[in-house]
Amino acid sequence: MFNATFYLRRLHSLCGLLVLGMVLFEHIFTNSMAIFGPQALNGALAMMELIPKPIFLGLEVGGIAIPLLFHGIYGIYIALQAKNNPGRFGYVRNWNFTLQRWTAWYLVVFLIWHVGYLRLYTKGVTGTPISYELLQNYFQSPIVVLLYVLGMFAAIFHFCNGITTFCMTWGITKGPRAQTVVSYLSMCLCALLCLITLTFMGSYLI
Ligand code: HEM
């Protein structure tokens, strides 16, 4: 019998790891150019402008907006069904499960603000190009910096812990030892990406 829930879950999982994971890596890579100064970041942003507008828009809609909306909306449905119990059992895995849900909730609010303000309003409505100078001005407020760092940490943890759950969902890691190794490696990746984020965010403040 056709099991819609099974296929929706699998699609949600693939969307999160492959599509949104690639978006996250691209985002961290481009933004890390700020570490090398205004010219490097503006150069990286200008390279993207070389992509013909209709193709770029198609990539934004088909490669980011639709997968993100699907993953986000179906994710809210999954999160509403979850029973969080970190305090009751205290296992690392229970905590990771709960943090996966908490970061998802933070991401819903953060991504609406981030995409809404920078992509839709600033670039889309006012036609102001995103540049190092614009971001430096934006990050004058310590509250904005704090909420952005938390948003990036949430996305990074959510993605990296997602690698562990993805490998279990798809039967890639079957035994407990393999699951522990993947979990350890994905938390190392999480620490590395958070460090890169702190470095490029910090470069706006000095
Ligand atoms: C818009 C807000 C988001 C919500 C509400 C959300 C929600 C969720 C939920 C509830 C899960 C757990 C699914 C399960 O246990 O079966 C999950 C898994 C996952 N999410 Fe998200 N998510 C969001 C954004 C993101 C983003 C931005 C990324 C990538 C950077 C991402 C990547 C992943 C990955 C890789 C998994 C693991 C898939 C698996 O276990 O097979 N998510 N998401």
Give pLDDT tens digits for 35-75: 999 999 999 999 999 999 999 999 999 999 999 999 999 99
CB 75, CB 104: distance < 8 Å? yes
With cut-offs at 50, 70 and 90, classify the pLDDT of residue 172.
very high
3-state secondary structure of 37: coil
Structure tokens at 57: 């828009």
Mutate to test the pocket of ligand 1, among 6, 111, 158 (most ligand atoms within 8 A of CB): 158
**pLDDT value at position 84?**
66
- Residue closest by Cα to atom 16 of ligand 1: 9
Task: Work out the pLDDT band at 82, boundaries 50, 70, 90.
Answer: confident
Q: CA-CA distances (angstroms) from residue 68 to 48, 63, 64, 76, 97?
A: 20, 9, 6, 12, 20
Closest-CA residue, ligand 1 atom 41, reads 166
Confidence of residue 83 (pLDDT cuts 50, 70, 90): confident
Distance (Å, whole) CA 150 – CA 194:
10
Number of Cβ within a 10 Å radius of residue 170: 12
What domains are defined for the chain? 4-202 (1.20.1300.10)
Residue 90 is predicted with a pLDDT of 53
CA of 133 to the centre of ligand 1 (A): 32
CB atoms within 10 A of CB 39: 10
Range in 71-80, 84-93, 147-156 with the lowest mean pLDDT: 84-93
For the CA of 163, the nearest atom of ligand 1: 35
Q: List, chain by chain if needed, residues with CB within 6 Å of any ligand 1 atom.
A: 9, 13, 16-17, 20-21, 24, 71-72, 75-76, 78-79, 100-101, 104, 107-108, 111, 155, 158-159, 162, 165-166, 169
Q: How much is the mean pLDDT over the chain?
A: 95
Biggest CA–CA distance in the chain, Å, is 60
Whose structure tokens read 């690698």?
Answer: 163
Mutate to test the pocket of ligand 1, among 6, 18, 20 (most ligand atoms within 8 A of CB): 20
What is the structure's pLDDT at 87? 59
User: Angle formed by the axes of helices 142-169 and 176-202, to 10°?
Assistant: 160
